[in-house]
Amino acid sequence: MVTLECLQVNNGRDFAIEINNTECVQTLKELLAQQMEYTVHPDDLKLFLAKNDDDNWLQQNSGVVEALKRGVATNVVKKVEKPQMIGSYEIRALGVPTEGSRGNIHVLVVVPPKEWGDVRPSKQVFVMLQTSVVDLNDVGEGEVQSTAELSQLLQLYGDFLSSLFVRQEVKMVWGILCNNYIGSSPPNNAYVLVGSPGVGKSALLVLFCCYLATHHAYNIYLARTLKHAGRASSPHVLLCFRGKEVTAYPDCRPHHTEALWATFRTEHVHNLKFLIVVMATAKQTSKAANWTSSTHATCYQHRRSTD
């Protein structure tokens, strides 16, 4: 038996697979498919030996592995991702050590983009640390603030900028939001944030939600509408904050949205620190208001369909 350390390129997950070295690569695919958090056919998996140009195994803490986790396609990464492991190859022919080597990655696991869009997890739960979220009150006007950690956390959920230019208007809106929502009695009102395309409404609201949840123990239902091929659909990326614990839905279909909202609202309806945020066009926001009308506090972002 050998232990193969495997890295899933699409989402950065790593796991160990024990297999007899006389088995073939196809058997390894079947074992990998069983370990995944979602249903995928073994034949849809592409496997690559995790070796660099020097024929050495990749290290878990290496820059190449970090790039693979983030989906960054550098020239080095492209070299690593070929040639593909053939299903009929025996494991022992791959040169995998019979004794584990600490910190090594042996196999890269890739779900092709077409299949990945269909099978990626319906939800994930993770903890968002305070250190990942900046308070813009502590950032000077005109400064560029790094938000790299938050960007990595949200890469499957509508993305987020790796850095944020803090303009005067951003500081002003942040201050108003803080005054309204941080205190002993948060308002039982709805607010609408309107602005021209590209001014940073989305980034500001997402950051503020993360800040309220991690620094002030808010329970927040955040619905984000994304565009595909120039068109916007119903909110299909959902982030449900229970303080620092986040339940994230990367592809929430419209008919699931209301059910998830009803569950979250029932869970937190008596909690004063309870907020719903909808980021969508004016038409979509109006529709969302119909089924969120009894929340403690609501914040909407209106944007043109071209935003």
Convert the pLDDT of each residue in 175-197 to its tens digit. 999 988 887 666 666 777 877 77
Tell me: do 272 and 180 sit in the same domain.
yes
124 has pLDDT over 70: yes
Tell me: do 19 and 83 sit in the same domain.
yes
Handedness of CA 209, 214, 219, 221 (dihedral sign): positive
Query: Quick one: which of 196, 221, 240, 200 has its CA closest to 294?
Result: 221
> Which phi and psi (to 5°) does residue 81 adopt?
-80, 30
What does the pLDDT read at residue 162? 92
Tell me: do 98 and 159 sit in the same domain.
no
What does the pLDDT read at residue 292? 47
Tell me: do 240 and 273 sit in the same domain.
yes
Tokens for 127? 């903890």
Number of domains in the chain: 2
What are the pLDDT digits (tens) for 11-49? Answer: 677 888 999 989 999 999 999 888 776 667 788 888 988
With b meaning 16 or more CB within 10 Å and e meaning fewer, what string describes 112-134?
eeebbeebbbeeeeeebeeebbb
Q: Which amino acid is at 48?
A: F
Tell me: do 196 and 292 sit in the same domain.
yes
171 confidence band (pLDDT: 50, 70, 90): very high
What does the pLDDT read at residue 293? 45
What does the pLDDT read at residue 14? 81
What does the pLDDT read at residue 157? 82
156 has pLDDT over 80: no
Tell me: do 49 and 64 sit in the same domain.
yes
200 confidence band (pLDDT: 50, 70, 90): confident
295 confidence band (pLDDT: 50, 70, 90): very low
Place of tokens 């550098």: 74
What does the pLDDT read at residue 134? 95
pTM: 0.57
- Domain harbouring 179, CATH code: 3.40.50
Among 118, 148, 178, the domain-final residue is 118
Question: How far apart are alpha carbons 89 and 81 in whole angstroms?
Answer: 17
Tell me: do 95 and 209 sit in the same domain.
no
Q: What value does the mean pLDDT take over residues 208-222?
A: 94
105 confidence band (pLDDT: 50, 70, 90): confident
Task: Enumerate residues 6+ apart whose C-beta is below 8 A from 68.
Answer: 7, 9, 12, 77, 80, 108
- Domain harbouring 71, CATH code: 3.10.20.90
What does the pLDDT read at residue 304? 43
Among 118, 140, 165, the domain-final residue is 118
What does the pLDDT read at residue 305? 39
233 confidence band (pLDDT: 50, 70, 90): very low
Tell me: do 177 and 221 sit in the same domain.
yes
How high does pLDDT run on average in the chain? Answer: 77
> Which phi and psi (to 5°) does residue 230 adopt?
80, 5
Count of CB atoms situated within 10 Å of the CB of 224: 22
Among 118, 135, 150, the domain-final residue is 118
Q: Domain limits at 51? A: 2-118
Q: What value does the mean pLDDT take over residues 224-249?
A: 73
142 has pLDDT over 80: yes
234 has pLDDT over 60: no
53 confidence band (pLDDT: 50, 70, 90): confident
